[in-house]
Amino acid sequence: MLEALTGTGLAASAGLNAYIPLLTMGLLARYTDTIDLPGGWQWLSNGWVIAILAVLLAVEVVADKIPVVDHVNDVVQTVVRPTAGGLAFGAGSSSETVTVSDPGAFFGSHQWVPVAAGVVIALCVHGVKAASRPVVNATTAGVGAPVASTAEDFGSVVLSLLAILLPVLVLLGLVLLVLGGWWVMRRRRQRKRERRAPEGVGTQRLFG
């Protein structure tokens, strides 16, 4: 159960920021005894991998805070974040995988299940994040983009650390994400109603 919560928390974190959970696991595995990556995931603690993830994270952090650019970034990340979520869930739940050495054996067993679960979880969280950003930009004239992005990055870091150190508290983080998703959908429906209202008024005046 705890391993599943760890994987779920890391995958949800990847839905907010693809690189934070992977970088967190890599750094903790390389420099601390907090996490012991299984054999198939030792590459995450490689120095070059950590450096590449750090560079990608820096690019993501900057791009996600610029209005319009953040939308383009979300489109690109539609593939990246679910992929990272699958990797994070697989590694975080201590799932052994032979994806690289023997893809046939990987898909012929149940070793793909944690990765697939991580992809779905990260994709759902990414969908909420991508849907919320236009609402934030529209209601704040773009000023809210850096604030929202910073909050998402912070949430990704917290979720990653909770998933590794206190996986039980991941449930609280998931509840907050669900509430955030509900708020986003509510705001989107409200904005659609506001757009339709003037059109209806104009039509009534024209034919009234």
Concatenating the DSSP letter of every residue in 9-76 gives: HHHHHHHH-SHHHHHHHHHHHHH-SS----GGGGGGG-HHHHHHHHHHHHHHHHHTTSTTHHHHHHHH
Range with the largest mean pLDDT of 44-58, 91-105, 117-131: 44-58
Q: Tell me the average pLDDT across 156-168.
A: 84
112-152 confidence digits (pLDDT tens): 677 777 888 888 888 878 777 777 777 776 677 788 888 88
H or E element at residue 177:
helix 170-207
pLDDT > 70: percent of the chain: 74
**Cα(192)–Cα(201) distance, integer angstroms:** 15
pLDDT at residue 98 greater than cutoff 50:
no
Residue with the larger pLDDT of the pair 172 and 86: 86
Burial label for 97, CB within 10 Å (0-12, 13-18, 19+), is buried
Residue with the larger pLDDT of the pair 90 and 78: 78
Q: How many domains does the chain have?
A: 1
pLDDT at residue 96 greater than cutoff 90:
no
Host domain of residue 24: 2-207
What mean pLDDT value characterizes the chain? Answer: 76
When mean pLDDT is compared across 11-25, 42-56, 115-129, the lowest value belongs to 115-129
Burial label for 200, CB within 10 Å (0-12, 13-18, 19+), is exposed
Residue with the larger pLDDT of the pair 185 and 96: 185
pLDDT of residue 106: 44
1-16 confidence digits (pLDDT tens): 667 778 888 888 888 8
Count other C-beta atoms under 10 Å from residue 58's C-beta: 11
pLDDT of residue 109: 52
> 26, 43 in Cβ contact below 8 A?
no
Structure tokens at 57: 């994270």
pTM for this model (two decimals): 0.73
When pLDDT is cut at 50, 70 and 90, the band that residue 57 belongs to is very high
> 95, 8 in Cβ contact below 8 A?
no
First to last CA, the chain: 64
3-state secondary structure of 208: coil
> 34, 165 in Cβ contact below 8 A?
yes
